[in-house]
Chains A and B, each alone.
Chain A
Amino acid sequence: MLSGPGFPVTGKSDLFMSNLSLLLLLLGLLVVGYQAGLYRSRALVAGGTSPVRLHSRPQHHGVVIALWAAGPALLLLVAWQLLAPSVIESNLAAKVQILQPGLSEQELRVALRRIDNLAGERLVVGATDWEVAAAETLRAMRQTSAWILTGLAAALVAVGLLVGLRRMNPSLRARNQVERVVQIALMISSGVAILTTIGIVLSMVGETLKFFTFISPLDFFFGTVWQPVFHVTETSGYGEYGMLPLLGGTVLVALVALLFSIPVGLLAAIYLAEYAPGRVRAFAKPTLEVLAGIPTIVYGVFALMTVGPFLASMGELVGLNIRATSALTAGLVMGIMLIPFISSLSDDIITQVPKTLRDGSLGLGATKSETIRKVVLPAALPGIAGAVLLAASRAVGETMIVVLAAGNAPVLTANPFEAVSTMTVTIVNQLTGDSDFAGPQSLVAFALGLTLFAITLVMNIVALAIVRKYREQYE
């Protein structure tokens, strides 16, 4: 099923297991090297006749020696782990083609997997002679590879130890060296976050550009019909990939969610921050926040099984035709999910408004609610706007609730009682299961993902900037 540079068909776990002991050995060497450095550096000071002083503490010398001893060998091990399996596999493939010429590519892969199983002592039904022979070769090659690796690693360890110990002297700035290594490791770790963003952007831009070779960007961004067709023959075309119905659905669902969650969340935040006695607040705030911790798939199932049928029957009572899976169902349940999000963010922001503003207003004779409405809320407005924007970006990117409860009908409509489809739903629909990203069918998911990423990115940047500015204002 899989092959390629990173994950060859053969010998994943076997080779891993054999190298695991080597890895453990090297980790043990780290300890030995550390002890050696510790001992040597102490001996340097204690044994000599002249009163020498170490620049660094013995522990640092220990770490330096440990790094010299095991570091290069560990790097070698990692490199070997990545490269050796594919080298072995190509050698084996060549060998198999000599033993059994004329195998197709597919047959060859099957044969390689069977040989791997044979070599790994796993059951193979009806193993032929040449397969057994090849398995023998594979085992031998693995053995050789393991020996070479062990030999090389041992040499590296010996050389490293020697160099490390030779370099050791009382004035060696061992601490500075260790600290530099640590800092570089920390720096690389913080680079991973940047790499992730770059990875997201690059991978999606690449696939999106491929998508635009099938469908023009104009048709994608401004088309009002979403109707992909399976591209079977040359003449059948690709169908229409207009994004607007999906964008419309996304906005509609998000609007319903925000219209529901903003008043409820904001009023709850005001009550909890300004009115509620300490005990009520201590109970209600964490309880509401439970809603934020519930996985979205649970909300989705709740919407599908309970809220949808309930809304449909309510609609029947008043004579409205509400579908069980509709923008309203998805939006309402998403609103429930967003309540704690809005309430706890607004709560933070309201409590940050300085007490002097409140006292001034109350001192002039305003009631508490007047103070809140005329003084506190206007002062907190930018922060609340930021919170709402963050909530909106969540609503736009939310997936599971809409997958289950929005009804998946990609039509341009403003009626929340109808079924709609959103960008996230379409990404899931176009890209589930194994696809080879060859046609617009699956590539469109990346174009939609990139659009979604751009929309939420703008919202987040603006929201975070507002919130940060607001915080600075009252600090």
Chain B
Amino acid sequence: MSTTSSNGAPQSRGYVTERVAASLRRRKRQELRFKALGIGATLLGLAFVAILFVNIFSKGLPAFWQASVALDIYFDPEVIDIPPAPVKSADESNNDFRERRIQWENEVALVNFNRLIQAGLAKVIPEAAEHPRDAARVVTSGERIALRNLVIDDPSIIGETRRVRLYTDANIDVWLKGNIDRTLPDAQQMLSSRLREWADRLYENGTIEMRFSTALFQNPDSRSSLASAGLRGAFMGSLYMMLIVLLVAVPLGVAAALYLEEFAPRNRLTDLVEVNINNLAAVPSIVFGLLGAAVFINYFKMPLSAPIVGGLVLSLMTLPTVIIATRATLKAIPPSIRQAALGIGASKTQSVFHHVLPLAVPGMLTGSIIGVAQALGETAPLLLIGMNAFVASVPSSPLDQSNALPVQIYLWQANELRNFFEGRTSAAIIVLLVLMLSLNGLAIWLRKRFETRW
């Protein structure tokens, strides 16, 4: 370093060292700056993960607890004026009996259960009897069905008093949780001032409590009774679709990967298949939805909004993921295994099915589970095959109309009652994320548990 200058003059030598020192300082600063940028970018990325999760959980977790009111309901025989439940007589056909039974159940449904609720409410708020319109709004409308079911299940309840816990109206939940500005003037409040005062009073004396919301898990979606809208229909729809993906995409994908990796000759055709699969993996998901709409719905006339169509579309979408993951696993198995099998006289097929495939099972499982988890969160293609329709029932087969978890999130975020559904939507997101993360966790665990390093 010190001999770089040739003329050897002491001044210029000092000048050079100084320049070198200065440039070194500059370069070191640059180095630090560059590293700091890298750290900053990484931290920014991590911060987004944190913000996203904190945001969703802080909004969604409170929604798992929902305001419910405990009332002593007197099943007044004067209000519930119904004939006794029909009994099947010997000479009656099944259809006739069922018809009578349904008629009876419909008659029960016609009972004015609101009067029972209002009478129950009057026991805790005496003035409720004078304001029937407000009293009718305390409990969410869907809870009439809960009372009806109590009567249908056990008609002997008539004439007795039972303590029943009913979900309050969504707006009361919003008010008590402070999700609406309490200082807003009356005109902008969703509840009348009387109802707000009642809600506060009942909450203070413990009649209204925040209880863990079973409605969220037990009920299907609802539009008329927002507080009892739940995820059950969407969950079952998603479950059916995942089953179909497992049954269709995984066997097909594994078989295709086995063929391409172990049997296929290397030629133009297999090259084409390979390029095609790689591209298919990167095709936007919405294009698969268009395929489903054109082929399954329009051509094969399969039912709209049915999990079977959704499952098939998602299967086609997941297929490349499974194929690519399985091929990677097969590639990682050393050729010596195959050669050893062939060497002792096994046929090609025997070497693949007896020796290579068993070693590839953990990797294939991991890839398949990750593929299924991806399919579980996919929304866009489902919108195109009519799964965004409002369905207020739980599907009993993959051919029934149904919802799916991500589509339910999409529907709920659009609900007008923002103050209530922001929490409900976030709660649904938490359910979806927990399902997906546990699937991914399972995949990681499998990989860790059975991983073989060659």
Residue with the greatest number of chain B CB neighbours at <10 A, chosen from A304, A372, A453: A453
Nearest 4 pairs of A and B residues by beta carbon: A397-B284, A271-B38, A295-B377, A4-B301
Select B300's contact among A5, A175, A200, beta carbons within 8 Å.
Answer: A5
Q: Can you name 8 A-B residue pairings with CB atoms under 8 Å?
A: A2-B303, A7-B300, A178-B349, A193-B277, A197-B276, A265-B45, A399-B379, A434-B304
Q: Enumerate chain B interface residues (CB-CB to A < 8 A).
A: 27-28, 30-31, 34-35, 37-42, 44-46, 48-49, 52, 55-56, 59, 94-95, 98-99, 102, 251-253, 255-260, 263-264, 272-273, 275-280, 282-291, 293-295, 298-304, 316, 319-320, 323, 347-349, 353, 373-374, 376-380, 383-384, 386, 388-389, 397, 399, 406, 409-410, 413, 422, 425-426, 429, 432-433, 436-437, 440
Select B95's contact among A124, A274, A343, beta carbons within 8 Å.
Answer: A124
Residues of B within 8 Å of A291, CB to CB, are 45, 48-49, 52
Select B302's contact among A7, A189, A266, A399, beta carbons within 8 Å.
Answer: A7
CB distance from A70 to the nearest CB of B (A): 18
B413-A404 in contact (CB<8A): yes
Beyond A125-B99, A304-B413, whether A288 also contacts B49 by CB under 8 A is yes
CB distance from B422 to the nearest CB of A (A): 6
Judge whether A204 is part of the interface by a CB distance below 8 angstroms.
yes
Residues of B within 8 Å of A449, CB to CB, are 286-287, 290
Q: When chains A and B are docked, how far (Å) is the Cα of A10 from the Cα of B378?
A: 32
CB distance from B345 to the nearest CB of A (A): 11
B285-A200 in contact (CB<8A): no
Select A193's contact among B42, B55, B280, B379, beta carbons within 8 Å.
Answer: B280
A400-B41 in contact (CB<8A): no
Beyond A183-B349, A424-B286, whether A340 also contacts B320 by CB under 8 A is no
Q: Enumerate chain A interface residues (CB-CB to B < 8 A).
A: 1-7, 12-13, 118, 121, 123-125, 127, 175, 178-179, 182-183, 185-187, 189-190, 192-194, 196-197, 199-200, 203-204, 206-207, 263-268, 270-272, 274-276, 284, 287-288, 290-291, 293-298, 300-302, 304-306, 336, 339-340, 343, 367-370, 372-373, 390, 393-394, 396-400, 403-404, 424, 427-428, 431-434, 436-437, 445-446, 449, 452-453, 456-457, 460-461, 464
Beyond A185-B255, A295-B379, A297-B377, whether A267 also contacts B433 by CB under 8 A is no
A367-B31 in contact (CB<8A): yes
Beyond A5-B300, A304-B413, A445-B290, whether A370 also contacts B27 by CB under 8 A is yes
Beyond A288-B49, A428-B286, whether A294 also contacts B303 by CB under 8 A is no
A431-B290 in contact (CB<8A): yes
B255-A186 in contact (CB<8A): yes
B28-A190 in contact (CB<8A): no
Residue with the greatest number of chain B CB neighbours at <10 A, chosen from A275, A400, A453: A400
A207 to B, closest residue via Cβ: B294
Residues of A within 8 Å of B409, CB to CB, are 297-298, 301
B95-A400 in contact (CB<8A): no
Chain B contact residues: helix, strand, loop or mixed: helix
B399-A271 in contact (CB<8A): no
Residues of A within 8 Å of B374, CB to CB, are 293
B373-A203 in contact (CB<8A): no
B255 to A, closest residue via Cβ: A189
Select B388's contact among A2, A7, A433, beta carbons within 8 Å.
Answer: A433
Q: When chains A and B are docked, how far (Å) is the Cα of A434 from the Cα of B38?
A: 50
A264-B44 in contact (CB<8A): yes
A456-B347 in contact (CB<8A): no
A183-B425 in contact (CB<8A): no
Q: When chains A and B are docked, how far (Å) is the Cα of A124 from the Cα of B97?
A: 11
Residue with the greatest number of chain B CB neighbours at <10 A, chosen from A192, A264, A284: A192
CB distance from B113 to the nearest CB of A (A): 24
B30-A264 in contact (CB<8A): no
Residues of B within 8 Å of A394, CB to CB, are 282, 284
CB distance from A146 to the nearest CB of B (A): 20
